[in-house]
Amino acid sequence: MGRLQVLLLVGFPGLALLAARHLKPVAVVGPVVVCYAVGILLGNVPGLAPPERLSLSVSEAAVPLAIPLLLFTTDVPRWLRLARPTLLSFVLACLSAMVSSAVVGLACADRSDEWWKMSGMLVGVYTGGTANMNAIGLALRVREETLILLNTADIVVGAVYLLFLVTVAQRLALLFLPRFPNPTVWDEAEGETARNAPVLTWSRTRGMALAFLLAALIVGVSVGGSHLVLGGLEPPVVLLLITSLSLAASFLPAVRGLPGSYAMGDYALLVFCVAVGTLADASRLRETGLFVFAFCAGVVVLSVGLHFALAALFRIDADTALITSTATIFGPPFIGPVARALRNRELMVSGLTTGIMGYAVGTYLGLAVAWLLRP
């Protein structure tokens, strides 16, 4: 059964891409949504749901390989022209998370003696990531029960918001935010569209093999560097190294022109979507305390709403607002799937950069809010 589950996780994206080429409904919703939806279905069907450890292993392997394969073709000078609105949107997203966590915390102060700690932890996770939230919880000596419930609520609420991001978010955001200026459409990357992908030739096969080996080498060097310098595996550091080395490699014309690199990175992202979808276990909603779930959902809804209101005020385009929202609420691993759903490949570097910045500042911002709210 284990082999069948691995085959489903790794092989289904191929079927999704094939369906997108021949079936119009699948092409309209996009392979990302299809893979994510099938992952959720698999995760909630008894007998088919893969073990959580297997899904985590597949998702954690797919993202580090996808990042260099996608970034090898990056036009860095063009991205630098987008840096200012991206940074502004990131700051607004962090500010929104801080204000929202404080407001919801104050509104619920009579429901829990750890409300101020929960507010600080949610600032950490919605500006950085799960590691920031848990670090804040340890620093504030939160009860283990609260820590577990808040992590579970974050997973459930996050799954709902991710589904929103990869489906209708862009269309809704464009109702009140400007359109991204002259995007490099995802389906046009390297001239490799899902509908007109060239057949495998010797040069293309060789290019894909070289791209994969270079990506694997970058991942290995990054993991080794983390162990060498910090004495262990630190995901934020590894992702920072992978992103930096991949962007450095993109300056080499020989690397930037490797055929098939983007297609492989795209496939790895779809594998990630299926794997992470299986983690959205509906039974977790029943296990989560209603108060903790409402607390977490209230922070996300208010934070996202405030962020987009500020983005409209400062005339930030819809795609930039969406990718920085993804970077702060989910972190770098989810940038690829959302950028693909938005059909804008230029968002990759912006999202990864701000996601890593969120890891760096999340703990500080969360502790600051908790200490300011402390009774």
Supply the mean pLDDT for the chain.
Answer: 82
48-79 pLDDT, tens digit each: 778 878 888 887 788 788 878 877 876 666 66
Q: Residue 49's CB: how many other CB atoms inside 10 A?
A: 17
Residue 285 CA to residue 281 CA, distance in Å, equals 8
* pLDDT, mean of residues 340-359: 82
29-39 pLDDT, tens digit each: 678 778 878 88
So what's the pLDDT on residue 194?
39
Residue 133 CA to residue 155 CA, distance in Å, equals 13
Evaluate if residue 196 carries a pLDDT over 60. no
Q: Give the lowest-confidence range in 154-168, 183-197, 317-331, 359-373.
A: 183-197
Does the pTM surpass 0.85? The reply is no
So what's the pLDDT on residue 319?
93
* pLDDT, mean of residues 256-269: 81
Residue 92 CA to residue 314 CA, distance in Å, equals 10
pLDDT band at 185 (very low <50, low <70, confident <90, very high): low
pLDDT band at 186 (very low <50, low <70, confident <90, very high): low
* pLDDT, mean of residues 100-105: 96
* pLDDT, mean of residues 336-344: 84
Helices 202-230 and 235-250: angle between axes, nearest 10 degrees: 140
So what's the pLDDT on residue 127?
92
285-331 pLDDT, tens digit each: 555 568 888 999 999 999 999 999 999 999 999 999 999 999 999 87
Residue 194 CA to residue 84 CA, distance in Å, equals 32
pLDDT band at 199 (very low <50, low <70, confident <90, very high): low
So what's the pLDDT on residue 53?
83
pLDDT band at 195 (very low <50, low <70, confident <90, very high): very low
112-145 pLDDT, tens digit each: 888 999 999 999 999 987 767 877 887 888 887 7
So what's the pLDDT on residue 103?
96
So what's the pLDDT on residue 234?
76
* pLDDT, mean of residues 203-225: 88
So what's the pLDDT on residue 121?
93
β-pair partners for 185: 344
So what's the pLDDT on residue 287?
55
pLDDT band at 183 (very low <50, low <70, confident <90, very high): low
